[in-house]
Structures are given as C-alpha cells and as structure tokens.
Amino acid sequence: MKAPSIHILSLPKTILAGVLLWLVCTTPSFSQLRFHGLGRTVWQSQTLSGNALQGDSTSDRKTMQGYALFDLRTEYRFKDKINLLVDSRVKNIIGGFGGVGASVQLRQVLVEGRATRFVTYSLGDIDVELSPFTFSNPVDTGAQVLGSVFAIRRNVLRYENFTTGNARRTMERQFHYQGNQSSTIHDYWAQVNSWRMRGGKLQFRIPLYMDDQSLKALLFGVTDRATHSFSGDFPYRIGGRLSYSADVNQHGFHFFGNGVRFVTPLTSNGKNENRVMSGGTNFWLSFPKIYLFGNMEAGSSHSQWKTDEPLINPNRDDYFLHSKLALSWKNRISVGAGYSEVGPYFESPGAQTMRLTGNAVPSFFSFVGNNQLVRNQGMLDRIGSETIYNQSLSVFRQVFLPQYELVFPYSVATPNRKGFSLSSTFLDQEYQFDKIMVSAKADFYQEILGTGVTDRRDFTRFHAIGITKLNRFFHTRGAWKLNVGYRFESSERGGDLPVDFKVNSWEAGTTMEIVRMLDLMIGIKRLNAKGNEIYNNINRFNEIESYRPFTMNQTETLIGTGLQLHITGECFLMVSGYFNRVKSSERLSTWNLNQFYTNFTYEF
C-alpha cells in the first residue's frame, strides 16, 4: 500500500485560498459566508484466501486499512456577482506515524457568478457535461447495486471521485425522464453525469423576450483535473452547446447542438485531436392522461492522430444517431422504444471513457502470486476500491471486464453498435411509488461491422429491477424495503470464429428498520459468466492490433450484511461484513475475500 504524503498546494490554489481568506476577514453585511462539510472515518479489515494464493509466499493474507478525513466546504457569496467556493480536506490514514500518511488537499476551488444579466461564469474545478454521446460521465452499470449495504460503499467512492448525483440516471429515476414535467425533461441533459475538470465556462441566456421560449449557450475550456502541470503539453478540451426550447400549453420541444474538441498529447511523440459534433431535439406532448416524450440526437466524430509512426487510419470519421420515444399513461405506466446506431470508428473521449477501469489495481490485496500480478477485480472491488475509478478522459479504448459490462462497456456511445431498445416502468402512484415499482429494459443490438471477420456479433441485454416497500404490505412500524434485480447479457457470433458469451446476474437487497434509527441491511449479488469471447488488443493509436480469444467460466457471489445507526439525519454509523467468493477459470482469479467494514459519517 502506498503511503500518502503531505500535498503541497499549488500556487494558483494558494492565491485563491488567500483571496478567500481576505474576503472572509473583510466580509461586508451584504455578503454571505457559509460552511458545509463532511467528516468520515472508515476502518476496514480484510482477509484473502483461495487458489489464487496457492504456493504464494509473497502476498498478504490479511490487511487492515482506514482513514479519517474532514472536508470543509467554504462558500463565500457576494450578492449575485461572485461566489467563491473552496472544498478543502484534511486526511490521515490509520497507521500513519509522525505525519506520514497525513495530507491536506484542495478538493475543489471554484469561482462563479453573474457577469451581466445574461452571462454567468465559472472558473476553477468545474463539472462539464453535454450529452451522452459527446461529453458525459457514464454510469458504472457493472457496479450497480440495489442493497443499501452495498450502495453506501459505492456512494463513498462516487463522492471521492466527484460523481455524486449521477444516480439520477439510474433506472429508479428513469421514469421521470420518460415523461412528466417539462422542467424535469429540461434537466435531462443537465443531469450530473459530468466530468470534474479544471478550467472555465461561460453560460449565456440570450434574451428572446418571450416567456415560453429560451435560447441558451454554453462555452467551456478545460483540462483534466489535477493530472497535468502547465509546464509542458497538457490535454485540453474546448466545447459548447447552443440550445433553444419552447414550452406552451404542456407541449414543447428542445433543440440543441453540441460541439467539443479534445486535444490529447500522447506519451510517445504526437497527439490526438478529436472533434465531436451533435445536434438533436427533445419534444413532449402532454395530454390529460397521456404524456409523449421523444428524444433524437445525431452527430459525428473526427479523430486525427498526428505522429511520426505509420498508421492504418490516421484520420477516422464516423457518426452516430440515437432516437427514443416514450409514452406515459397517467404518469404511472410508461413504455418506451428507441433505436441507436454508433459507428465503428466513432471516437468520443468525453463519452466513451469508462468510469471504472477494468485493469486498474484494486486498493486492497492489489497483487497476488509470487510474481505479484495484479489481482483481477471482483464485485467487492467495484463497489469498494477507490483506485479503480477513473478521473481523466482517455482517447483509447480502455480494458473492460465482460462479466460486468459486456454489451455497452463504453456507455451508450460504445462504438460499432446498432439496434433497438424497449423499456417499461410501472409505478403504483403518480410520479412515484408507494408500495412497488418495477422497471425493465431490453436491448437488441448488433455490430455494424464485424471485428476481424465479416461475421457480426449479436448482443442482447435485459435488465429488470423491482423495488417494494414491504412495510406497506406487512404494516411494520419501521421502514422495510426490498430491492431485487436481474441482468442478462449475451454476445454471440457465428461463422469460422464463433463467439458465445453469456452473463447472468441476480441481486437482492433489503433494509429493515429493526428499532428506531437502526437499520439492518442484507444484500446479495450473484453472477455467472460463461462462454468464449475475444478481446481486442489496442495499440497506442487506438487501432485494433490483434485479438486474444479467451474462455471464461466465472461464478461470483457477494454477500453483505450490516447495521446502520442513524444518529441524526446527517450522521450515521455503519458496521458491516462482506463475503466475496470468486471461482473463475481465469488465472489467479479464484479467491475468497472477507471484509469487515465500519463507516462513521457526518455532514453539516
């Protein structure tokens, strides 16, 4: 385990922090100073056993980790003109001695405000998002969890990686996007599937002097967060959006155009320049009992590799199109259908970068075997290992794990896919559910071009979840919720090089308030991935270089159980245990990981 060191604050941040301090000391009456924060203490102890350690005299069998941190979010607002925000962190790892392992970090420094009546600005660590095909931080579907005992773990990682709030894109909330209030639909593209970047943005609201219509524009210029100094080549992304919307008598539309340019220096000589453009529309028609929502987006990418080395396709162009139509009846039952086509050469780093990297090193029991090879990730790693999350955009196809994300490893913008989707949601009340909610989605896709052969893969994905409040049925005193889910994914190809890979995954989680403020949480996830598939080996220019066929027969079970004590609404203590069993034909992948985990969190 690496030992964190005390971070030296960079000069711009130091100046900004100094300005903030000065403003705090000279606060006039018409300004506001607010403090928010979060404190968290985590302690975890885990053991590893199984075939992966057979004959291994090097790797740890038992480790203990933990930390205590305090995040202070200081916000200084001067009228509407300026809003300064500094999110600072003090962190100390358990086991640190004499200052080793202690760190002071600035998680976010942001200046924003209103420059004129129609222009707002943001400068610093900002969140950037355009659309799911141009600039969007994809949901970690492979780490989706339904039980609270897992969700709390994953939410810690999301907080640490600045992707909190993205849960609004999960199926549980999908109903709202498919069809209700126009304000929610407007928010669809503004949801926080954003990447935390460093730079600035300007937002314009162009006056039309018509209440039912609006014209907005966004311009931004950013670089990846805290990964590059400004002394040499650094990646930068410049983009924007123009949108026009009208909403009259419950009917309306939203027309938008997005554009973004990515410039990424390569570790070898050269650079990648990528341009993604898109345009589309959302429209909605609202009648007394029926609500119709549609969404279309189409666009293109141009990727240019500038290097001295010979390339097969130094310039790659391709396009995508996406459409969706959803119908809602009484705001309780909704059905939707969509068609999507993403070209094989469509390259959009802002949308295709994975949130969880498949070949990243887990943060506990990172290596196994006497040769200290990276331990393959399991389900517990994907909800509890900070190091496998990714905060920088990648112009390369990252390694994905087919047992967790087979059909759309690179989000809905996964290249070389065409097909249609069907979805439905049922709520037992308008807009929300009181006793039960069921949602299902099926995707039937195919490769546009075969990979290495003319035969094309067929993809099927089916995902269903159900959430019920059992206390409504059994009339228990405390809240009692049960979530169940099922996921099936398959990849099939005929011909001389057949592919047949299937993933079945079940999960269930329940949270029961056994006494006031004390929840009992139990969750189980089980996965079986079986068949043969082929990995594409990518070269340094994102070209397929060769293929690596593999067969996998993996069965994995993750059981979690714990107690959560709600001390106040903003403060809880969680004590839990996890048992992750992985039995796999993959090398060094059969192991048992048991973990004891405590988490004390308070917010203010």
Minimum CB distance to other proteins, residue 244 (Å): 9
Number of residues that bind other proteins (CB under 8 A): 50
Q: Considering only the stretches 80-88, 159-167, 264-272, 446-454, report the one whose residues sit in contact with other proteins under the rule CB under 8 A.
A: 446-454
What is the distance between the alpha carbons of residues 195 and 126, in angstroms, rounded to a whole number? 8
Of 296, 297, 299, 339, whose CA–CA distance to 318 is shortest? 299
> In the set 371, 496, 516, 569, which binds other proteins (CB under 8 A)?
496
Determine if 321 is a binding residue for other proteins (CB under 8 A): yes
Instruction: Write out the binding residues for other proteins, residues 542-561 only, by CB under 8 A.
Output: 543-549, 551
String of contacts with other proteins for each residue 400-429, x by CB under 8 A: ----------------x-------------
Minimum CB distance to other proteins, residue 337 (Å): 17
Tell me how far CA of residue 26 lies from CA of 18, 19, 178, in angstroms.
12, 11, 49
DSSP 131: -
Task: Sort 224 into a burial class: Cβ within 10 Å, 0-12 / 13-18 / 19+.
Answer: buried
What is the distance between the alpha carbons of residues 160 and 143, in angstroms, rounded to a whole number? 16
DSSP 4: -
Determine if 279 is a binding residue for other proteins (CB under 8 A): yes
> In the set 150, 195, 283, 400, which binds other proteins (CB under 8 A)?
283
Task: Answer yes or no: are the C-beta atoms of 238 and 215 closer than 8 Å.
Answer: no
Residues 345/351/354/355 CA torsion (nearest 10 deg): 180
Minimum CB distance to other proteins, residue 318 (Å): 5
CB nearer to other proteins: pick between 83 and 352: 352
Task: Answer yes or no: are the C-beta atoms of 417 and 436 closer than 8 Å.
Answer: no
Determine if 498 is a binding residue for other proteins (CB under 8 A): yes
- Report residue 350 as tokens: 């802002």
Minimum CB distance to other proteins, residue 398 (Å): 17
**What pairing do the DSSP bridges indicate for beta strands 31-49 and 591-603?**
antiparallel
Q: Considering only the stretches 47-55, 171-179, 222-230, 244-252, report the one whose residues sit in contact with other proteins under the rule CB under 8 A.
A: 244-252
- Report residue 561 as tokens: 């159980």
CB nearer to other proteins: pick between 246 and 438: 246
- Report residue 443 as tokens: 């995707």
Q: What is the residue type of 571?
A: C
What is the distance between the alpha carbons of residues 347 and 318, in angstroms, rounded to a whole number? 8
Determine if 315 is a binding residue for other proteins (CB under 8 A): yes
> In the set 43, 234, 319, 426, which binds other proteins (CB under 8 A)?
319
Tell me how far CA of residue 492 lies from CA of 406, 450, 461, 532, 551, in angstroms.
11, 12, 12, 9, 13
Determine if 451 is a binding residue for other proteins (CB under 8 A): yes
Q: Considering only the stretches 20-28, 435-443, 537-545, 593-601, report the one whose residues sit in contact with other proteins under the rule CB under 8 A.
A: 537-545
Instruction: Write out the binding residues for other proteins, residues 342-401 only, by CB under 8 A.
Output: 343-345
| Residue 41 bridge partners (DSSP) | 68, 600
CB nearer to other proteins: pick between 174 and 416: 416
String of contacts with other proteins for each residue 453-492, x by CB under 8 A: xx--------------------------------------
> In the set 21, 64, 449, 514, which binds other proteins (CB under 8 A)?
449
Minimum CB distance to other proteins, residue 255 (Å): 4
Q: Which residue has the tokens 């994975």?
A: 354
CB nearer to other proteins: pick between 281 and 446: 281
What is the distance between the alpha carbons of residues 497 and 173, in angstroms, rounded to a whole number? 40
> In the set 452, 567, 568, 577, which binds other proteins (CB under 8 A)?
452
With residue 17 as reference, give the H or E element that holds it.
helix 11-25
What is the distance between the alpha carbons of residues 330 and 427, in angstroms, rounded to a whole number? 10
In the three-class reduction of DSSP (H, G, I as helix; E, B as strand; rest coil), residue 46 is classed as: strand
Q: Considering only the stretches 119-127, 308-316, 367-375, 435-443, report the one whose residues sit in contact with other proteins under the rule CB under 8 A.
A: 308-316
Determine if 187 is a binding residue for other proteins (CB under 8 A): no
- Report residue 247 as tokens: 């909403």
Instruction: Write out the binding residues for other proteins, residues 114-173 only, by CB under 8 A.
Output: none
Q: Considering only the stretches 116-124, 495-503, 508-516, 593-601, report the one whose residues sit in contact with other proteins under the rule CB under 8 A.
A: 495-503
Determine if 325 is a binding residue for other proteins (CB under 8 A): no
Determine if 317 is a binding residue for other proteins (CB under 8 A): yes
Rg (the chain; Cα; Å):
25
CB nearer to other proteins: pick between 79 and 289: 289
Of 91, 98, 102, whose CA–CA distance to 68 is shortest? 91
CB nearer to other proteins: pick between 258 and 390: 258
Determine if 255 is a binding residue for other proteins (CB under 8 A): yes
> In the set 312, 399, 479, 514, which binds other proteins (CB under 8 A)?
312
Minimum CB distance to other proteins, residue 267 (Å): 22
What is the distance between the alpha carbons of residues 559 and 561, in angstroms, rounded to a whole number? 7
Instruction: Write out the binding residues for other proteins, residues 197-226 only, by CB under 8 A.
Output: 212-213
Task: Answer yes or no: are the C-beta atoms of 277 and 262 closer than 8 Å.
Answer: no
Q: Considering only the stretches 234-242, 339-347, 397-405, 461-469, report the one whose residues sit in contact with other proteins under the rule CB under 8 A.
A: 339-347
Task: Answer yes or no: are the C-beta atoms of 363 and 343 closer than 8 Å.
Answer: no
Q: Using CA of residue 346, residue 350, residue 352, residue 358, what is the dihedral sign?
A: positive
The total of other beta-carbon atoms located within 10 Å of residue 265's CB is 16
Determine if 298 is a binding residue for other proteins (CB under 8 A): yes
Which positions touch other proteins (CB under 8 A)?
212-213, 246, 248, 251-253, 255, 277, 279-281, 283, 285, 296, 298-300, 312-313, 315-319, 321, 343-345, 416, 449-454, 496-498, 532, 534, 536, 543-549, 551
